[in-house]
Amino acid sequence: MSATRTLEAIKYTPGSLLILDQLALPHETIFEPILNIQDGHAAIKTMKTRGAPAIAIVAALSLAVDVATRAAKHEFKTVPQAVEFLNSSLEYLKTSRPTAVNLFDAAHKLSVVIQDSAKKATSPSEVTDAYINAAEKMLVDDVQDNKNIGKHGAAFIVENCKNKEDIRVLTHCNTGSLATAGWGTALGIIRDLHKNGQLKHAYCTETRPYNQGSRLTAYELVYENIPATLICDSMASALLHQNPSVQAIVVGADRVAANGDTANKIGTYQLAITAKHHNILFIVAAPSTSIDLSTKSGKDIVIEQRPAEELVTITGLLEGKNIPATVRTAAHGVGVWNPSFDVTPSELISAIVTERGVAVKTPGKSEFDMKAFLQ
């Protein structure tokens, strides 16, 4: 296997969209057709597709295939009809999951494309074609952005770590090819370090309660022959204590506020605290589409609550048999709190790596100035 071989979770050709069902991984590779916005919404809500950039792209492309089918049947008779369908579909897709800002950013940018094309369009197909082109571009741009994140992040780690000969990093959740259009963000940095021969070892957390680490990141690391070890979330501090070669924790983001506070998978905050305690780098990696300047700080970020079932049950394959099974692990009747994300305060973050470069704090400041960084 080559180090640059990556999984593909979103297969798109004009008029056709397939997504890799991430609930079936790592046991089965099942591609599911997404025919319309209802399929796209359901795939995101049930987390068959997940990860901030992938959510935005699948939402955008589900509308691209939906509108292409309708346009082929000449369903839109006027420009306003096409505009109304596209805009209301984007509003509907935005209700699938609330925290990852990439979905809202994509919907906003696409609604501007719709509005601009409608101003000069003489037929509905001009508006639908403009929408489809813009949605397709998001898929292409995401891979390039991730490659740049990987490059900047790997260079930052090598430059700022204490022992360049033994670089080991820990990551949380899944931020790889499965969570994006390809390559990945935090996992893209790990992939770059590995590609450059600079990575000794990667560690990934199990990422309870939904196990994106053990189900997906471990799968990606094995798939690409990156030397890796799985730990459960409660082992992170012990790992850092025992192994000083773990010199950085690298995570993704669902929303970065203007001051750098970052919402990411539940468990990220405690990793940032332990990184601070052990005096190692804590790096957030995300495309600039994850930065939300209209959100001043983490206090304003809406955190999604997931169903209790995802905490009190575990789904896997019965050992030795090829039978998927869900088992209950908690007592019936116990109360459940199941936030999907937490917010890591900017003061605990060493750097925010984007496709444009690396944002750091002005010395002496505890917050980032993401607005200045994006200018």
Please report the DSSP string for 149-163 in residue order: HHHHHHHHHHHH-S-
Tokens 């691209």 -> residue: 64
Using an 8 Å Cβ cutoff, are 18 and 11 in contact? yes
Q: How far is the CB of 284 from ligand MRU (least distance, A)?
A: 9
Output 189 or 281, the one with its CB closest to ligand MRU.
189
Q: How far is the CB of 69 from ligand MRU (least distance, A)?
A: 27
Q: How far is the CB of 212 from ligand MRU (least distance, A)?
A: 5
Output 128 or 177, the one with its CB closest to ligand MRU.
177
Query: Of 221, 224, 309, 215, which Cα lies nearest the Cα of 24?
Result: 215
Phi, psi of 11 (to 5 degrees): -110, 115
Pairing of strands 255-257, 262-265: antiparallel
Q: How far is the CB of 346 from ligand MRU (least distance, A)?
A: 17
Using an 8 Å Cβ cutoff, are 248 and 280 in contact? yes
Phi, psi of 17 (to 5 degrees): -130, 125
Token pair for 31: 């591609």
Output 206 or 254, the one with its CB closest to ligand MRU.
254
Beta bridge partners, 344, equal: 262
Output 50 or 194, the one with its CB closest to ligand MRU.
50
Across 61-115, the runs of DSSP E, i.e. the strands, are none
Residues 6+ apart with CB under 8 A from 185: 53, 146, 149, 175, 179, 252, 253, 285, 286, 287
Active site (annotated) includes residue 254: yes
Output 102 or 117, the one with its CB closest to ligand MRU.
102
Output 113 or 359, the one with its CB closest to ligand MRU.
359
Q: How far is the CB of 46 from ligand MRU (least distance, A)?
A: 11
Cα 121 to Cα 41: distance, rounded to the nearest angstrom: 29
Output 128 or 268, the one with its CB closest to ligand MRU.
268
What single-letter amino acid sits at 264?
N
66, 142, 145, 254: which is the annotated catalytic residue?
Answer: 254
Q: How far is the CB of 263 from ligand MRU (least distance, A)?
A: 8
Query: Of 67, 44, 48, which Cα lies nearest the Cα of 135?
Result: 67
Beta bridge partners, 248, equal: 169, 281
Residue whose CB is nearest to ligand MRU in the complex, by number: 252
Pairing of strands 255-257, 31-33: unpaired
Residues 6+ apart with CB under 8 A from 309: none
User: Within a 10 A sphere around the Cβ of 363, how many other Cβ atoms?
Assistant: 5
DSSP at 146: H
Interacting residue ranges for ligand MRU, rule: CB under 6 A: 50-53, 100, 173, 175, 179-180, 185, 212, 252-254, 264-265, 340
Which value, in Å, is the radius of gyration of the alpha carbons in the chain? 21
What single-letter amino acid sits at 338?
N
Q: How far is the CB of 97 from ligand MRU (least distance, A)?
A: 7
3-state secondary structure of 100: coil
Residues recognised as catalytic: 254
